[in-house]
A and B are shown apart, each in its own frame.
Chain A
C-alpha cells in the first residue's frame, strides 16, 4: 500500500480564543492522486482541517494541538508554511483576497517570483499553467475585469504554478453562479487528470461537487469524522441528512417515491443512475399521485411595481434596460441570473441607493422617486450580500438593536423585539458575543436580523443563503417563509437553484441587464434555453424525470416541491 501524502493521527486542535477544541481525535489518511470531498456543516471543523494541512495552523493561527499530522512524510508543525506550500497548494474561498497581483499574469507568477525564478523562465511557466486553466488570453486583465469563475481559474493557476502534490479547495463554489460552479468542478477534474495531484475539496454543496466523481467523502460533525467512505456508500446511507448536509435532489425524489438507495444503483451521479423498471414505475406512480395536489396561486393586490426602468453607471452602457414587473402582496420571488446581470443594481434602485435614468418604481401605487433612502428604508429592507459591509457595531445585540434606537420605541418592546428576532435567527445563545467571533454565515444571519427587527413591508435579500450549509439554509429559509406567511413580501437575489425551486413560486430572470423571463421557478429550470442564457443549471430532477419516462419535467419538479412542503422535512 502506498504511503499517504497527508496523515492525521489522533489529531486534535484548539484555537487560542475558543473554550473548546475544534478538532477531536482526527484519523485521516489521504493518498497521492486521490480525490476527497470533506463535507460538513459550518462550524463542523472542516475548514480547520484545511488550515492544518496548508500550515496556516499553527503558523498563522496559534492554538494547542494533540496527536500528529504528517504532510508528505514530515511532521507539519515542525516544517514551515513555506515548505508546506511546496507540497500543498491552497485555493481560498475569497477569490478577491487571493488575487493579489495587479494583473492575471502577475498573480499567477506570484509564487515563482518569490522563488526568485528568472523572468524568462517564469513567463514560460505562467503561459503553460494559464493554458491549462484556459485563462491564457486574459493575462493582462485586472481583477475587476474578470468574472468570479475567471478569478477562480487565476487562483488555481497561481497555486499550480508550483507543481504541488496536493490541491486544497476551501469552499470553491461559494461565490459562483451555478454554471460557473459547474465549470469549476469540471476544471478541477481536468487538472486532476493532467497533474495527478491529490484533490481535497471542502464543501457542503454535495450535489454540485459530485458533478464529477470523487473517490471518497469525509463527513465531519462537531470536530469529529462521522463517516469516511466511498461516495456511493455514503449516499446510500442516511448520514447526510442526519448531519445537516443536503443529499442530491434526485436521491431525495427517489426516497419520496419509496425507493431505497443502494450502492449498486450508482447513486453518485444522476446520469449513471441505474433504475430497474419496477423502480421507474414507482417514480411514475408517485408522480401521478402527487400531480393532483398541485395548486395554482391566486393573485393578491399589487405592492411593488417597476415600470420601464433604465439605468447605467456610464452613459454608453446600460446596466439595466426596460425592466417591468409587478410584485403582489405576500409574494416570495427569486431574482436570478448570472453575476453582473444587473440583479444587485435593481435592488439598489428599489432602495433608492441609485437613481434610474428613466422609469419609475411604485409602492402601493405611489411613485417612490421623491423619497429619500431613509424614507424608503422604513418600508423596504435591504440585506446586503456581504455581512461585513453592514455590521457597524461590535456586539451582536447592539447591531440588531441599532435601527430600533432611531425611533421612539419603549425599551421593553425594543428588548422583546430584539430577543425574538435573535431567537428566530438562531443567534440568541450568542447575543453577548462580539460579531467578530462569528463565522461568515452567522454574521449573515446577524445582518438579516438587523433588518428584520424593523419589520419592513418588503424585504430584499441579496444572496441570503450564500455560505450557509443545508441546516442553516433551511433554518433561514423556513424563517423567511414563516415571515412570508405572516404577510411580508420577500424578494431574493440568488444563485441557489434549490432555494428558487423550493421557496419561491415565481422567478424573474435577468441576463445582461435585460429581463428574460417572469415565470414559475419550475418552468425556468426546465427550459434549457433560459437556463443557458442566465448561467443557471438545470436540476437533476429534470434528468431523473426523463430517465423515468415522464415527459413533463416541469410538472414533476412542481410535484417534488409540493410534496416537500406538504410532508415537511
Chain B
C-alpha cells in the first residue's frame, strides 16, 4: 500500500514526552498566539532560539521529521516567492525607508527593507514549526481528548478529535481499497482524462467512501450510546495524566513568553521592530 508519509507520535523518553498532554496543548496554543501577534524581530529571534532548545530536549531526531521539514521549506520558499512577485516594495512601505541593494529587472529591485521583511515573516512561521511538530510527535494521541477537556473544551468535541485520530487509518485503508476496486472497473483519478471526467470519476470513489462512512457513523454512534456516551455532563478519562511540578513550570514559562512577547511588541506602539529609522 502506498502509505502517505505523515507525521505521527514517536515514543521516546524525554522531558518533553513526560509533560502531560494538557501542558503541551497550552504551550502549543500560547506559542502559536505569541508568534501570530508579534512582528518584532527581537522577540522572533528569541522564540526561534527557544524552540530549537526545546527540540534538542525532546530527543526527536532531525531524520525522524526530515520529510516534514522538507515540506515546510518548500511551502516557505513558495510563499516568499509569491510575496515578492506581487509586492517587491512591500518592505519599503512597512519600514518607511528604502535602501536599494541591486535591481533585477523593471520594478523588481532588491531593497534591504524587503529582505528584512522576508526574514521576519519567515521567522514568524519557522519558530512555530518545531513546536507544532513536537506537539504531534511527543503527545500520545490518547491524551488529546482528555487534554482538550481539561482546558475547558466540551468533552463531546474532545472525543470527536479522538475519534478522528482513531479512524484516520481505517478511512485511509478504505479509500485505498475502494480506489483499487474502481480502477478494476475502469475508473482512475491519476490518468490523462479531462479534468471534468476526473472529477466525475472521483464520485465513484467518494460515494462508497461517504456511504460506508455514514454507515460507520451509525455503527459507532450506536456502540457509543450502548456504552453510555453522553449520559452525564462530565466524564472521566482513562488516559488523563496529572499535572506535575514540571508541568506547572512549563505552563508558567510559556505564559511568561506570551506576556514578554506582548509587552516588547507593543511597548513602542508598533508591531514592527524598525532598525531603519
Q: Which residues of A contact B220 (CB under 8 A)?
A: 97, 100
Contact of B215 among A54, A123, A388 (CB under 8 A): A388
CB-defined interface of B210-229 with A at 8 Å, one 1/0 digit per residue?
01100110011111111111
**A56 partner residues in chain B, CB cutoff 8 A:** 222, 225-226
Residue interface mask A134-177, B partner, CB < 8 A = 1: 00000000011000000000000011001000000000000000
Instruction: Give the residues in chain B near A396, CB-CB below 8 Å.
Output: none
- Listed residue (A97, A390, A391, A394) with the most chain B CB atoms within 10 angstroms of its CB: A97
How far apart sit A59 and B224, CA to CA, in the bound complex (Å)? 13
Task: Give the residue of B166, B182, B216 whose beta carbon is less than 8 angstroms from that of A101.
Answer: B166
Q: Which of B116-168 contact A (CB under 8 A)?
A: 141-142, 162-163, 165-166
Interface-side segment among A112-120, A276-284, A497-505, A546-554: A112-120
A384: contacting residue among B162, B181, B211, CB under 8 A: B181
Q: Is the C-beta of A98 less than 8 angstroms from some C-beta in chain B?
A: yes
Taking the closest CB of chain B, its distance from the CB of A305, in whole angstroms, is 21
- Report the minimal beta-carbon distance from B191 to chain A, rounded to whole angstroms: 10
A100 touches B166 (CB 8 A): yes
CB of B240 within 8 A of CB of A97, answer no
Given the contacts A377-B185, A406-B186, A82 and B228 also touching, CB distance less than 8 Å: yes
Minimum Cβ distance to chain A for residue B202 (Å): 11
Query: Which of B182, B185, B223 is within 8 Å of A92, CB to CB?
Result: B223
B227 in contact with A111 (CB, 8 Å):
yes
User: Whose C-beta in chain B lies nearest to the C-beta of A97?
Assistant: B219
Contact A103 B181 (CB under 8 A): no
The distance in angstroms between the C-alpha atoms of A59 and B188, with both chains bound, is 42
Residue A81 at the chain B interface, CB threshold 8 Å: yes
B244 interface residue, CB < 8 Å from A?
no
- Given A382-B184, A390-B208, A392-B182, are A100 and B223 also a contact pair (CB < 8 Å)? yes
* Residue on B nearest A56 in the bound complex, by CB: B222
Q: B184 near A377 (CB under 8 angstroms)?
A: yes
Give the interface residue-count category, chain B: 35 or more
Identify A116's interface contact among B174, B207, B229, B232, CB under 8 A.
B232
Nearest to A84 among chain B residues (CB) is: B226
A94 contacts which of B183, B211, B219, B237 (Cβ < 8 Å)? B219
Whether A102 contacts B232 in the complex (CB less than 8 A), given A119-B237, A377-B184, A388-B215, comes out as: no
Tell me the nearest residue of chain A to B224, going by C-beta.
Answer: A100
A159/B180 in contact, CB under 8 A: no
At the interface, yes or no: A313 with Cβ under 8 Å from chain B?
A: yes
Quote the shortest CB–CB distance from B1 to chain A (angstroms): 6
Given contacts A106-B239, A123-B238, contact A100 B205 (CB under 8 A): no
A403 with B186: in contact, given A92-B222, A113-B236, A390-B181 (CB under 8 Å)?
yes
Q: Does B245 contact A (CB under 8 A)?
A: no
A377 to chain B: closest CB distance in Å? 4
Contact of A119 among B183, B234, B236 (CB under 8 A): B236
Given contacts A113-B235, A386-B177, whether A144 and B169 have CB atoms under 8 Å apart is yes
Q: How far is the CA of A119 from the CA of B178 in the complex (A)?
A: 41
Q: A213 within 8 Å of B by Cβ?
A: no
Q: Is the CB of A391 within 8 A of B211?
A: yes
User: In this assembly, does A179 line the interface, its C-beta being within 8 Å of a C-beta of chain B?
Assistant: no
Q: Quick check: is A373 within 8 A (CB to CB) of the other chain?
A: yes
Residue of B142, B186, B222, B230 most packed against chain A (CB within 10 A)? B222
What is the bound-complex CA distance between A114 and B226, given in angstroms? Answer: 11
Q: Across the interface, which residues of B come within 8 angstroms of A436, CB to CB?
A: 211
Q: Are A115 and B238 in contact (CB under 8 A)?
A: no
CA distance A384 to B182 in the complex (A): 11
Closest to B162 in A: A102
Task: Say yes or no: is B204 at the interface (Cβ < 8 Å to chain A).
Answer: yes
Q: Are B183 and A373 in contact (CB under 8 A)?
A: yes
Q: Is the CB of B208 within 8 A of A158?
A: no
CA distance A58 to B147 in the complex (A): 35
* Chain B positions within 8 Å of A406 at CB level: 185-186
A60 CB within 8 Å of chain B: yes
Per-position binary interface string of chain A over residues 47-69, scored 1 when its CB falls under 8 Å from any chain B CB and 0 otherwise: 00000001110011000000000
Contact among B178, B211, B227 for A114, CB-based, below 8 A = B227
B176 smallest CB distance to A (angstroms): 9
The interface residues of chain A lying within 8 Å CB-to-CB of B174 are 389
Which residues on the B side are within 8 Å of A82 (C-beta)?
225, 228, 231
Query: A96 with B170: in contact, given A102-B165, A113-B236 (CB under 8 Å)?
Result: yes
Is the beta-carbon distance between B181 and A159 smaller than 8 angstroms? no
Within 8 Å of chain B (Cβ to Cβ): is A402?
Answer: yes
Please give, as numbers and ranges, the residues of chain A lying within 8 Å of B234 by CB-CB distance.
116
Interchain CB contact under 8 A, B208 and A81: no
Q: Is the CB of A392 within 8 A of B183?
A: no
Distance, CA A59 to CA B163, complexed state (A): 23
Which residues of the partner chain B approach A384 to less than 8 Å between Cβ atoms?
177, 181
A85:B185 contact, CB within 8 angstroms: no
Contact with B along A119-140 (1 / 0, CB 8 A): 1001100100000000000000
Contact between A402 and B238, CB atoms less than 8 A apart? no
Within 8 A of B (CB), among A68-103: 81-82, 85, 90, 92, 94, 96-98, 100-103
Determine whether the beta carbon of A59 is less than 8 Å from that of B225.
Answer: yes
> In the bound complex, do residue A388 and residue B185 qualify as a contact, i.e. CB atoms below 8 Å apart?
no
CA distance in complex: A384, B170 (Å): 16
A325 at the interface (CB under 8 A from B): no
The smallest C-beta distance from B227 to any residue of chain A, in angstroms, reads 4
Specify which chain B residues have a CB less than 8 angstroms from the CB of A393 in the assembled complex. 207
Q: Is residue A351 within 8 Å, beta carbon to beta carbon, of the partner chain?
A: yes
Could you list 6 further interchain pairs (A-B, Cβ under 8 angstroms) beyond the known A56-B226, A59-B225, A106-B238? A85-B225, A102-B141, A106-B142, A106-B239, A389-B208, A402-B185
The 7 closest A-B pairs by CB, nearest first: A97-B219, A109-B238, A377-B184, A114-B228, A388-B212, A111-B227, A392-B204
Which residues of B are at the interface with A, using a C-beta cutoff of 8 A?
1, 3, 141-142, 162-163, 165-166, 169-170, 174, 177-178, 180-188, 203-205, 207-208, 211-212, 215-216, 219-232, 234-240
* Residues of A participating in the B interface, judged by any CB pair closer than 8 Å: 54-56, 59-60, 81-82, 85, 90, 92, 94, 96-98, 100-103, 105-106, 109-119, 122-123, 126, 143-144, 158-159, 162, 313, 348, 351, 353-354, 373-374, 376-377, 381-382, 384, 386, 388-394, 402-403, 406, 436, 450
26 contacts between A and B (CB under 8 A): A54-B226, A59-B225, A81-B226, A85-B227, A92-B226, A94-B219, A97-B222, A97-B223, A98-B219, A100-B163, A100-B223, A103-B239, A105-B238, A111-B228, A113-B238, A114-B230, A117-B236, A119-B238, A122-B236, A123-B238, A159-B227, A388-B208, A388-B211, A389-B178, A406-B185, A450-B185
